[in-house]
Amino acid sequence: MRIFNAACIPVFLFGCESWTLTERKTHLTNEELYEIVKQRPINKELRKRQLKFIGHCLRMAPDEPANIYALFKSKVRERNKIGRSTAQYIEQISRFLTNDNRVKLISSDITKYAIDKR
């Protein structure tokens, strides 16, 4: 498992800080396997890394490009391919922070979370 954690996990999660995920219900059919190998589901690690990254960007100086564009919401809405999510990064971060798909935080609320380091 140490080799897997050292060699595979970084490859699987390369660039994950900027991904948006399709919304699917998580099925815990592999729960026993996670317990046996003492691993966390990859989506938990992805969530942790994305929240850590967005917090880091939002705590930077206000004039830093990473801070300015961290929660940029595009006004361009193109049609996605059938079955693809229209979710944007800010919506995903909002979902991570509230654990509720119906609640949508605005940029200033997410920035408050980052500054408070909740």
Sorted by where each begins, the domain ranges of the chain are 42-116
More confident position, 27 or 116: 116
Q: Is the pLDDT of residue 45 over 70?
A: yes
What is the per-residue pLDDT for 101? 63
Query: Which three-class secondary structure string do you get for the chain?
Result: CHHHHHHCHHHHCCCHHHCCCCCCCCCCCCHHHHHHHCCCCHHHHHHHHHHHHHHHHHCCCCCCHHHHHCCCCCCCCCCCCCCCCCCCHHHHHHHHHHCCCCCCCCHHHHHHHHHHCC
pLDDT digits (tens, 9 = 90+) for 55-111: 888 888 888 888 888 887 777 777 777 777 767 778 888 888 887 666 777 788 888
